[in-house]
Structure 1
């Protein structure tokens, strides 16, 4: 199976192509200005060139459904649906937190807690065991000094762009805080292939991003 993976839930615009569990090519860039609309299709073209395959060889598209940036998610999902409609291939989706968690599986942690910044002291988060299995619901959590205190005896790793603010207030003796890790299309391969094998496909016509929270427009910048 050959799968095109699109990850646009954060400031990291990421595209990869895999074939039978092998990463053929990865194109990604972290951009504070959210340049996904300009970059995503160029990254797809570069990934196809790097993998030395044509778009017609793609068997499925896997996209991050969120939570995360409203704009980023809309861009990624719209592109994924367009490819699936145009090529008549199935659509797969993963949540952005499970993609983050894949970067830390089997590294000796009891808990993997990815965090995506949701502004102020709020993050999108969920808990995963050391093998990357999700063990709690995704939530929008406001952080304070008591957050995750019930897990203080566990060896925890916090990852994602919510780490910078969380490490300032969380006092957990067994916790590690790793900055600079973002959801990446290279970490979508294993779960996407499992879903493809099980034919866990999305309805392309009705599929929408998982925003978790309703969009609230801010004041217009002058």
Structure 2
């Protein structure tokens, strides 16, 4: 099994985890702010220290590739690229929405093989980044920005229960009302939940370019002037 440093900075949460032997070996996170640029370097150092103490050689670096906060994604990918280059190891890009579905799949719900997941990330106003995944993380609805309406996910909801999760579910609840909509609280994309995804990508040799890879924004990036340290 590979020893991987996983980095996740796509939302308000900032987290870095060391995984190996299909277990989380070290996990550092901040769930309540947007101080990613200040925190991430220290979290990475703590994971490197943990690997050194356990005499583990880092085999790869994995990063949550998006969608999410433009600035957060750039911070995470920049850190991951620099680390992968410095260590001379491959870089793995993990879809952020898949991380959230994996969290629910393994930790939070009584599910079966027919379960479907609708992770969503707030994209301001009534827009979200979302997709729909089955138990094998196959996309039943491709990842895309969506403006929420009462008809959002309509046909998929008619087909059976759909588990919604992420930091946009509160506003989604105000417009989506269906007996098959199941709302799973307090799910954030976290580095520790990248474990199975980054390990599989490593086994499959599914790497991204250390020099030229870019975040999966899903929308064109528009630069704005930061206010009050908001990403």
Taking structure 1 as the reference length, the TM-score comes to 0.92
In 1, the alpha carbon distance for the partners of 2:184 and 2:175 equals: 15
Aligned pair in 2 of structure 1 residues 219, 200: CA closer, same or farther (>3 Å)?
A: closer
Aligned pair in 2 of structure 1 residues 221, 25: CA closer, same or farther (>3 Å)?
A: closer
- 1:125–1:141 contact (8 Å) kept in structure 2: yes
Aligned pair in 2 of structure 1 residues 200, 55: CA closer, same or farther (>3 Å)?
A: farther
- The alignment yields a C-alpha RMSD, in angstroms, of 2.0
Structure 1 residue runs of 5 or longer lacking an equivalent are: none
Q: What residue number does 1:199 align with?
A: 205
Which of 135, 139, 159 matches 1:134?
A: 139
- 1:68–1:116 contact (8 Å) kept in structure 2: yes
- Kindly report which structure 2 residues correspond to 1:18-167, keeping only aligned pairs within 5 A, or say none: 18-32=19-33, 34-50=34-50, 53=53, 57-105=57-105, 107-108=111-112, 110-153=115-158, 154-167=160-173
Report the secondary structure of 1:57's partner residue. Answer: coil
Structure 2 residue runs of 5 or longer lacking an equivalent are: none
Q: Does 1:7 align with 2:21?
A: no
In 2, the alpha carbon distance for the partners of 1:11 and 1:55 equals: 32
Q: Does 1:181 align with 2:182?
A: no
Q: Deviations over 1:61-93 (max 9, x none)?
A: 000110100110111000000011111110011
- 1:56–1:87 contact (8 Å) kept in structure 2: no
Answer with 212-221 or 141-150: which moved more.
212-221
Number of aligned residues: 221
- 2:51–2:58 contact (8 Å) kept in structure 1: no
